[in-house]
Amino acid sequence: MRRGGERQGQMGGEELGDLFDLVHDSIFVRDLDGRVLAWNAASAELYGWDADAARTQPAHELLTTRHADPLPDLEARLLADGRWDGELMRRAADGRELVIEARWSLQRDARGQPTAIVETGRDITARRATEDALRKSERRYRNLFGAMAVSYWDLDFFAVGQMLWQLRADGVTDFATYLAAHPEVSREMMRVTRVIDVNEETCALYRADKAALVAGDVERFWPEASTHVYSASVVAAVSRAPSFSAETRLRRWDGAEFDALFTACFPRESVGAGSLLIGVIDLTERNQAQAALHALQAEFAHAARVSMLGELTASIAHEVNQPLAAISTNASAGKRWLSRAEPDLDELRGINDRIVADAQRAAAIIARVRGMAERRAPEVGPIAINPVIEEALGFLRHELQGKGVTVSLSLAPDLPPVTADRTQLQQVLVNLAVNAIQAMVNAGAETRTLALRSEAADGGGVRVSVSDSGPGIPDENLPRLFQSFFTTKDGGMGMGLPICRSILESHGGTIEARNGPDGGASFLFTLPAAEV
Amino acid sequence: MTAADPLISIVEDDESLRQALIGLVRSLGYRVAGYPNAEDFLAADARERSDCVVTDIQMPGLSGIELKERLTAEGVGTPVIMVTARAEPALKDRALASGAFCFLKKPFEVDALIECLERALAA
């Protein structure tokens, strides 16, 4: 474009046309009143008005130009400075809103008098929309980061990446095994991790000032005993897992430990950039509530066991009396052999052995009863179910015999172990069996059969059924059986079955009651297989 | 011990108590035979030869009371001493009603059992 007022009337004419129209940016010229003098092809494309439609039109009205400042102010600045640039809001012929990055320059004639304004403009609508979206998303993320009731840590683990790279170069392929054998390497990784940022919740949870946390490393927050969890998170990141989470113990700024859920996300792009977002949730209260619940459940289970022992007093007395009767009988026989002129030593030895065996038998019965009566914390571990079923029956031997009940036992071999407390599981079995015996006796059932069956359950666990040949459960009672204080027994507390259910559920199992096809009630419970 | 010595039969399902009773009877100088249940006792045809039967009440199969009733029905008058670890008063009444010579509770006074046994043999 040439300078010179004498030629302004021809601007945009044939001489400049080719070059003018080849430019990618929108260029148009307006006089000092704002009327369009020249309008290139890119302007026509951008704004939707062709050159003929635009020429002589007042540009700002044509394009509905808007700016945060009044347009006369902008023009005044242009006149003072000779140029202006900034972003303008405009509307195209078809009504589209546009964001234009515009540059105005003032044209002067030979005497230095302003003659025209040249504007070059670029459509930045799309770019601005993207930037806005990004800003909003960043703000949202910032808000989340700041306001969530979760402790967030933005970490720079670039140096950890370098350590891992070096280990790989040194021939380490199995990081899990390597880090398990070298916890000091994991500790070193903690020391080279930099804290970029933390949110308010982190300061509250860790009882630390943000200033103390940021730019520090993370080693002090990991008790030695939790190092393996940190190592596992590193292994997860290395093996390109999308995320990692584990319950562990972490340490506050003051050194106090707390139960935590540690989570880490490994989006490919941020891992590539060497940064990592960590979330920590305080599980202290949840775990305390759970512990209180477990303690309460154990209390109830204990109370139920004691009450069950009460119901079995006669049977237990019978069982203890057998070896006691044998002992006193043997002792009396021994006295007689001894008082003979020539004591029969063989008889005496036999008697002595039998007394020892009977005393042991009595002691074993008492130990079994005491095990049931004792108040102690459950010891949950992997156990085989079939021996527990057999022990429960041993407990009820005299009860079954006294009430004329025949036992039918069908125990599947090769069942997986279940994770359970032996005493509580035995309690469930004894409770269900006692219910079954009472149901058959109270109904005056002719044939009294107690069937215990163990089998593999769908999904890998174990299923046990306790079935009787009694009258079955009235349909209207089935839905209420496991409710507390529901009982059909005289003097019953209505806590036996609810406690059975709470015991099984605390072991991850379920229980249900049914009536068998040939009558009789059936209680079925399942327990998941112990994790190996 | 000779064939002339009295024969005492012990019917008791609890193995160790049965052995103890057998030992006791032997120490008294009598002949003794032990059976784990009433059916075995009846099958061994010991009812004719026994001079006294000491039986438990609760056993799998026939109870001690049913055994006594069976003997009575067959006209066998062998005295039957019943022992039990159960405490229900009704049981004693039923035992005595069936014609038990003695009713003893476990763990019984052994002297009481011997005294009963000797009375039964003298009868």
Give residue-wise pLDDT tens across range A34-87.
999 999 999 999 999 999 999 999 999 999 999 888 888 998 999 999 999 999
pLDDT band at residue A30 using 50, 70 and 90 as cut-offs: very high
Least Cα separation, residue B105 to chain A (angstroms): 9
> By mean pLDDT, which of A283-297, A326-340, A420-434 is the weakest?
A283-297
Provide the pLDDT for residue A2.
43
Provide the pLDDT for residue A16.
57
Provide the pLDDT for residue B72.
92
Provide the pLDDT for residue A518.
79
pLDDT surpassing 90 at residue A12:
no
Provide the pLDDT for residue B48.
81
Give per-residue pLDDT as tens, A208-251.
999 989 989 999 999 999 999 999 999 998 888 888 999 999 99
Taking the CB of residue B4, how many other CB atoms lie within 10 A of it? 6
Interface test with A, best of B27, B57, B110 (most A CBs within 10 A): B27
Least Cα separation, residue B35 to chain A (angstroms): 16
Q: How far apart are CA A190 and CA A255, in angstroms?
A: 16
Chain A partners within 8 Å of B28 (Cβ): 336
- Please give the full DSSP string across A384-436, using - where no structure is assigned: -HHHHHHHHHHHTHHHHHHTTPEEEEEE-SSPPPEEEEHHHHHHHHHHHHHHH
Provide the pLDDT for residue A9.
45
Residue type at position A465: S
- Please give the full DSSP string across A460-494, using - where no structure is assigned: S-EEEEEEESS----GGGGGGTTSTT---STT--S
Positive or negative, the CA dihedral A103, A108, A113, A116 is negative
Provide the pLDDT for residue A486.
67
Q: Locate the chain B residue with the closest alpha carbon to A314.
A: B86
Positive or negative, the CA dihedral B87, B90, B93, B99 is negative
Is A361 at the interface with chain B, CB within 8 A? yes
Provide the pLDDT for residue A3.
43
> Taking a C-beta distance cutoff of 8 angstroms, is the pair A463, A526 a contact?
yes
> By mean pLDDT, which of A3-7, A389-393, A408-412, A417-421 is the weakest?
A3-7
Q: How far apart are CA A19 and CA A11, in angstroms?
A: 12
Mean pLDDT of A82-93: 92
Provide the pLDDT for residue A484.
66
Least Cα separation, residue A403 to chain B (angstroms): 9
Cβ of B110 within 8 Å of Cβ of A358? The answer is no
pLDDT band at residue A260 using 50, 70 and 90 as cut-offs: very high
> By mean pLDDT, which of A165-179, A317-331, A485-499 is the weakest?
A485-499
Closest in B58, B59, B110 to A329, CB measured: B110
Provide the pLDDT for residue A495.
67
pLDDT band at residue A475 using 50, 70 and 90 as cut-offs: confident
Local structure of residue A66 (DSSP, 8 states)? B
Mean pLDDT of A92-99: 92
Provide the pLDDT for residue A494.
61
Closest in A314, A330, A351 to B86, CB measured: A314
The enclosing H or E element of A120 equals strand A114-123
pLDDT surpassing 70 at residue A6:
no
The share of chain A scoring above pLDDT 70, in percent, equals: 94
Closest in A318, A327, A334 to B85, CB measured: A318
Cβ of A336 within 8 Å of Cβ of B20? The answer is no
Q: Locate the chain B residue with the closest alpha carbon to A338.
A: B27
Provide the pLDDT for residue A246.
93
Residues A187-204 as b or e (16 or more Cβ within 10 Å = b): eebbebbbbbbbbebbbe
Provide the pLDDT for residue A139.
81
**A24: three-class secondary structure by DSSP:** coil
Both structure tokens of A403 = 């009430």
Pick the more confident residue, A345 or A398. A345
Name the pairing type of β-strands B7-11 and B52-56: parallel
Q: Locate the chain A residue with the closest alpha carbon to B56.
A: A322
pLDDT band at residue A11 using 50, 70 and 90 as cut-offs: very low
- Please give the full DSSP string across A29-59, using - where no structure is assigned: EEETT-BEEEE-HHHHHHHS--HHHHTTSBH
Taking the CB of residue B92, how many other CB atoms lie within 10 A of it? 18
Mean pLDDT of A296-307: 82
Provide the pLDDT for residue A17.
60
Provide the pLDDT for residue A458.
85
Per CB distance under 8 Å, which residues of B are interface residues toward A? 14, 16-17, 19-21, 23-24, 26-28, 58-60, 83, 85-87, 106-111, 113-114
Closest in A314, A321, A334 to B107, CB measured: A321
Q: How far apart are CA A38 and CA A290, in angstroms?
A: 79
Chain A partners within 8 Å of B19 (Cβ): 326, 354
CA distances from A523 to A245, A323, A449 (A): 38, 34, 14
> Taking a C-beta distance cutoff of 8 angstroms, is the pair A401, A445 a contact?
no
Is A352 at the interface with chain B, CB within 8 A? no
Average pLDDT of chain A is 87
Give per-residue pLDDT as tens, A154-198.
899 889 989 999 999 999 989 999 999 999 999 999 999 999 999
Q: How far apart are CA B107 and CA B84, in angstroms?
A: 8
Q: Taking Cα atoms as reference points, which of A126, A13, A140, A119 lies closest to residue A74?
A: A119
Both structure tokens of A218 = 């993370």
Q: What are phi and psi of A455, to 5 degrees?
A: -155, 165
> Taking a C-beta distance cutoff of 8 angstroms, is the pair A21, A1 a contact?
no
Residues 362-401 of A with CB under 8 A from B: 398, 401
Residue type at position A432: L
Provide the pLDDT for residue B1.
52
Q: Locate the chain A residue with the closest alpha carbon to B16.
A: A326
> Taking a C-beta distance cutoff of 8 angstroms, is the pair A524, A512 a contact?
yes
Provide the pLDDT for residue B7.
93
> Taking a C-beta distance cutoff of 8 angstroms, is the pair A338, A348 a contact?
yes
Q: How far apart are CA A394 and CA A374, in angstroms?
A: 19
Question: How many Cβ contacts (< 8 angstroms) between chains A and B?
Answer: 84
Please state the pTM of the whole predicted model. 0.57
Q: Locate the chain A residue with the closest alpha carbon to B21.
A: A329
Interface test with B, best of A329, A349, A351, A353 (most B CBs within 10 A): A329
Cβ of B23 within 8 Å of Cβ of A333? The answer is yes
- Say which residue the tokens 């300078």 belong to: A3
- Please give the full DSSP string across A295-325, using - where no structure is assigned: HHHHHHHHHHHHHHHHHTHHHHHHHHHHHHH
Is-cis flag, bond preceding B107, omega within 30?
A: yes
> By mean pLDDT, which of A150-159, A224-233, A301-310, B12-21 is the weakest?
A301-310
Cβ of A333 within 8 Å of Cβ of B27? The answer is yes
Partners of A511 in beta bridges:
A525
Closest in B21, B59, B60 to A329, CB measured: B21
Provide the pLDDT for residue A132.
86
> Taking a C-beta distance cutoff of 8 angstroms, is the pair A198, A152 a contact?
yes
Cβ of B27 within 8 Å of Cβ of A337? The answer is yes
Give per-residue pLDDT as tens, A407-450.
999 999 989 999 999 889 999 999 999 989 988 988 888 889 99
The enclosing H or E element of B18 equals helix B15-27
Least Cα separation, residue B77 to chain A (angstroms): 26
